[in-house]
Amino acid sequence: MSEYSSEDASYAARIVNRLMSPEEAEGFDLEQDLVVSDVESDAEEFSDDLAFLSEFDANVPAVAIKGEAVPVSLDLAFGDRGLFLPFRFSKGRRRWRGHPFFHEMAYDLLRSFTKERRFDGYESLGRDEARATFVRRATDFVATRIAAVRSFRNDDRHTAWYQRSLLNLPQRLRGRQATTPGCQFTVSSNSNGLRVFWSGAYRLSPNNFNHPTTPTSSVLQSGTYVFGVDGGAYGNTIAWDLNLVVTLPGLPHAHLNY
């Protein structure tokens, strides 16, 4: 596990705060092998979620990750019912905001999913609290990555025991490609044939890991993650193990009791 320094934490805080402020997000320098496009994508989507929910003075759906309420993406909370709404895309939402047809559709959708401004099956967070939680936990995520990247760059023997791979990824969503270290990671489960998803532990939003279990492997960048599965007895509904938070670099495997 990479223990990050106060310098790493300060650098991470500057990055996350810039990513959460679109007017300031351009034009800041990253170390050449540090990739944050995944966090930037989550920050953009989360900012859009907050803007949408503010139109209706609604709270943010949340789940407890190891006991702390963490925001859930609206795409995940709404599921298939949200496919027809333009708020799924930033540019579309900005064009439609204020349009009567958009408001009627969105109001009906929110009403079908909420009771006393709560999403069924989810906890509820005020928008300001949800934003503060996102920023704090995303900062921890990025600081963990910064420490790991610097250790890899310096060939730190204390972190050389885990299996590493090099990834070529966009450094920013609309930026140059960068070569950055990744961690070989394996997920197993009780059932065979399941599909595995990962999410940053600062906002629950599914990303495909690999399939089928059991086990299945892929490469992830450093950070703090939770995992879930679908398929088999779970159908199209992702079952998340929210009591298991994985920090990479660290143990190269996890078992999900599904």
DSSP states of 34-70: ---HHHHHHHHHHHHHHHHHHTTTPPEEEEEETTEEE
The single residue listed with the structure tokens 């092998």 is 33
Does this model's pTM top 0.85? Answer: yes
Q: Does the pLDDT of residue 98 top 60, yes or no?
A: no
Q: How confident is the model at residue 35 (pLDDT cuts 50, 70, 90)?
A: very high
Query: Where in the chain are the domains?
Result: 6-133, 159-256
Quick: pLDDT tens for 127-156: 999 999 999 999 999 999 999 999 888 875
CATH 3.30.450 fits 159-256, yes or no: no
| Torsion angle defined by CA atoms of residues 231, 237, 242 and 245, in that order, rounded to the nearest 10 degrees | 50
Q: In angstroms, rounded to a whole number, what is the distance separating the alpha carbons of residues 112 and 189? A: 34
Question: Helix 127-153 crosses helix 37-54 at what angle (to 10 degrees)?
Answer: 180
What integer is the mean pLDDT of 68-81? 86
- Confidence band of 85 (pLDDT split at 50, 70, 90): low
